[in-house]
Structure 1
Amino acid sequence: MAPTSSDAPAAPARAGYAERLTLPWWLWLAGVATAGLLATELWLGSTGVRAWLPFVVLLPLALVGLGWLGRIRIAVRDSELLVDDARLPVRFVADAIPLDVEGRREVLGVGADPLAFVVQRPWVPGAVQVVLDDPADPTPYWVVSSRHPVRLAEAILAARDPN
């Protein structure tokens, strides 16, 4: 019996990249402590509604705000770099350069291009500079924070050059 196309081994799935830029535990602790301190200041021994309302409002509000700060997702899949809701087809990528703390500071410093697309989180030490090659787009490069900048840069370049 000859093998059919359904018997042929499947092509290996291409490994992508996914990361979420969550907040470190100490920022959660600092945010909740600050909200608790502010609620205590508003309470200051009051009775009635002023005794519990600051805690009921400020503590959940702090948790929602901290969760919102850690919402950014980065992914490389389907020949695209996805950063939150922004999409960049990898065919327009000229190069992807992993940056350490000093490299990120230099790229985002005084000489930074004002047209660059930047998603930077100060609690994430690394970043990737994605240099673009799209004559129709005035954006010269993207700078994206990443905890694993080398892996992200490799995934972008691998998606661009599938061979």
Structure 2
Amino acid sequence: MQLSAAPYEERLTAPRSWWLISLMVGVALALIMLPFGTLPLLGGLVGGTAVAAVMASAYGSVRIRVVGGSLIAGEAKIPLSALGPSEILDADEARAWRTHKADTRAFLLLRAYIPTALRVEVTDPQDPTPYLYLSTREPEKLAEALRAGREAAG
């Protein structure tokens, strides 16, 4: 297994405010359970907070990795040889590529709480996907890792 020249890994964690929202969901459920007594109130607080926190954690557990000559973005694994040039998208361009510029055939690893992204062309003629849209907090580092990985592979 060949490792890329510049391995890269990023976890698209949910923002801190989502954890506060998880607690507020628990409080809301506790208030709903208030008429039924203290035990249901505590159950609603603990249960509601736990379920909301698990959902926030699961949504924010997706990873982007460049390793072993491949780009792994969420569930997708694409060889670097099938990828073309990449374009770093600032917040305004990222919004445009999520909305009116978007192609329905594109692969989107979208996290709305991350304003920047990287758009990577897919050059494999067998793949109908025109490009990958990857939400990332570090688009420059990801683009560099992809470039270095393609150079190291061939």
Normalized against structure 1, the TM-score is what? 0.85
Question: How much has 1:24 moved relative to structure 2?
Answer: 1.6
Q: Is the 8 A contact 1:42 1:50 kept in 2?
A: no
- Which runs of 5 or more structure 2 residues have no equivalent in the other structure? none
Question: How much has 1:92 moved relative to structure 2?
Answer: 0.9
- SS of the residue 1:121 aligns to: coil
Aligned mate of 1:106, from 91, 96, 118: 96
Aligned mate of 1:61, from 36, 51, 65: 51
RMSD: 1.7
CA distance in 2, matches of 1:24, 1:56: 21
**Which structure: greater helix fraction?**
2
Asked if 1:25 corresponds to 2:16, the answer is yes
How many residues end up aligned between the 2 structures?
Answer: 150
Structure 1 ranges of 4+ moved more than 4 A: none
- SS of the residue 2:115 aligns to: coil
Q: Is the 8 A contact 2:8 2:145 kept in 1?
A: yes
* 2:140 counterpart letter in structure 1: V
Asked if 1:96 corresponds to 2:86, the answer is yes
Asked if 1:135 corresponds to 2:134, the answer is no
CA distance in 2, matches of 1:61, 1:77: 33
1:2-35 deviations in Å (ceiling 9; x for gaps): xxxxxxxxxxx833111000012122112322x1
1:82-139 deviations in Å (ceiling 9; x for gaps): 1122101010111111111111112122231100000110111111001011111100
1:26-77 deviations in Å (ceiling 9; x for gaps): 22112322x1332233123432643333123211111111111111111101
Query: CA distance change for structure 1 residues 146 and 63 in 2, over 3 Å: closer, same or farther?
Result: same
- Counterpart in 1 of 2:140? 150
CA distance in 1, matches of 2:44, 2:38: 12
Output aligned runs, 1:30-49, within 5 Å.
30-33=21-24, 35-47=25-37, 49=39
- RCO (CA 8 Å, sep 6+): is it higher in 1 or 2? 2
* 2:6 counterpart letter in structure 1: A
Taking only the aligned residue pairs, the percentage that are identical comes to 32
- Counterpart in 2 of 1:4? none
- Which runs of 5 or more structure 1 residues have no equivalent in the other structure? 1-12
Greater radius of gyration (CA): 1
